[in-house]
Homo-oligomer: A and B are copies of this chain.
Amino acid sequence: MPAGDGVRFELLSGHDGGPRLGRLWIGELAVPTPAFMPVGTRATVKTLDSEILQEIGARLILANTYHLFLRPGAERIARLGGLHRFMSWPGGILTDSGGFQVHSLAEFREIRPDGIEFRSHLDGTRHFLTPEAILEIQARLGSDIRMVLDVCTSQPAALSETARDVELTLRWAERSREAWTAQARPGAAEPGGAGERRAGSAGAALFAIVQGGTFPELRRACARRLVSLGFDGYALGGFSVGEPVEARPAALEAALAELPRERPRYLMGVGTPEDILDAVGLGVDLFDCVLPTRNARKATVFTWKGKMIVKNSAFAEDPRPLDPDCPCAACRRYSRAYLRHLFQVGEQLAGRLATIHSLAFYQQLMAGIREALAAGRYADFAREARARMTRGAQA
């Protein structure tokens, strides 16, 4: 299956089992990879407008199908010209399938062979979503990269339970693949509506999600069968959901080894800067995580010297910016003392400035990773970065 007209992946360097340098093209927009996607759950990266998000250097963001389906509704967003126009975002958008949100947020959920029934965490209304319906919703949103509906296994989980979830994930992926072909057929009805450049599936990409919990053999089998179906990219789901950290590398490597070189690999919901350094080393191209944004709103920011607790009384009269070497809009103008004050008195500006800094840091981290990859010194870079973050955190 060819990648969508609008989305294609260009692998610049990298060997099997090692880190990769690439470019994800979304129309004319190049997203250099490895890349980190800020999370814009409800059509906004919390506290940020799209203007500052551009300034930070983000080119591809994630939005949540589950949340947008409930409010304001996918039909509404379609009538308003799609998600890009709705949130005034000129960059790329990946929408997840909602499988994880139903798993973690819904008041009640029942996984049936043909889809997921759940009650909204907002008002208790009942919904039933099939793999096909999930794709239609994403077509209405008009996102550039769309995810198939999957079953995220609750941790801890036994082999049998995980295998059952993998089976259903695969069955749904197959149905999604078929629906996608039908949607993309020339002349097929486009629920996203005319007029929006990206609405509909013609220019969009479809990613499948590898599940399999902490069991390398299940991960391997799942990946292999998804690849045989053929998708534009492959996501690695079910990580950072409470599984033992030490089980992660083997499960990740087993899946990655099955994926085709020429397709992007996306590790969902991961992670800390250290997690990202590890996963890049294994060959992952795309990341998303609420960590930098959520922590920032709670007064913890990321820097090259590790995490910084902005409310720390040591910063009460510190005139330096969060990171004196950071060029972000927060560090250009504001001191640690001022940010601490804003957090102490509960001003909203605090969360915004901290979010700007932490996302800017994540962008700098990814840029540093890409530079090191281009220079052929990734292992050194990752070791040094890890050491700096650890030293700083102890200081």
By a beta-carbon cutoff of 8 Å, the part of chain A in contact with chain B is 42-44, 46-51, 67, 71-72, 76, 79-81, 86-88, 316-317, 319, 329, 333-335, 337-338, 341-342, 344-345, 347-349, 351-353
In the complex formed, the residue of B with least CB distance to A355 is B348
The docked-state distance in angstroms from the alpha carbon of A47 to that of B48 is 11
Picked from B50, B351, B353, the residue with its CB within 8 Å of the CB of A348 is: B351
Identify the interface centre among A44, A86, A352: most chain B CB within 10 Å of its CB. A44
Picked from B43, B81, B86, B338, the residue with its CB within 8 Å of the CB of A43 is: B338
Asked if A71 meets B333 with Cβ closer than 8 Å, knowing A46-B349, A48-B349, A349-B48, the reply is no
The docked-state distance in angstroms from the alpha carbon of A301 to that of B349 is 20
Q: How far is the CB of A346 from chain B (nearest CB, A)?
A: 9
Picked from B49, B76, B329, B337, the residue with its CB within 8 Å of the CB of A317 is: B76
Residues on B with C-beta less than 8 A from A351 are 348
Whether B44 lies near A349 (C-beta < 8 A) is yes
10 contacts between A and B (CB under 8 A): A42-B345, A44-B349, A47-B348, A47-B349, A72-B337, A80-B317, A86-B338, A86-B341, A87-B338, A348-B351
Copies in the complex: 2
Q: How far is the CB of A170 from chain B (nearest CB, A)?
A: 34
The docked-state distance in angstroms from the alpha carbon of A342 to that of B42 is 8
Picked from B67, B76, B333, the residue with its CB within 8 Å of the CB of A50 is: B333
The docked-state distance in angstroms from the alpha carbon of A42 to that of B349 is 11
Whether B344 lies near A72 (C-beta < 8 A) is yes
The docked-state distance in angstroms from the alpha carbon of A344 to that of B122 is 12
Residues on B with C-beta less than 8 A from A44 are 342, 347, 349
Whether B86 lies near A329 (C-beta < 8 A) is no
Identify the interface centre among A51, A79, A86, A341: most chain B CB within 10 Å of its CB. A341
Residues on B with C-beta less than 8 A from A87 are 338
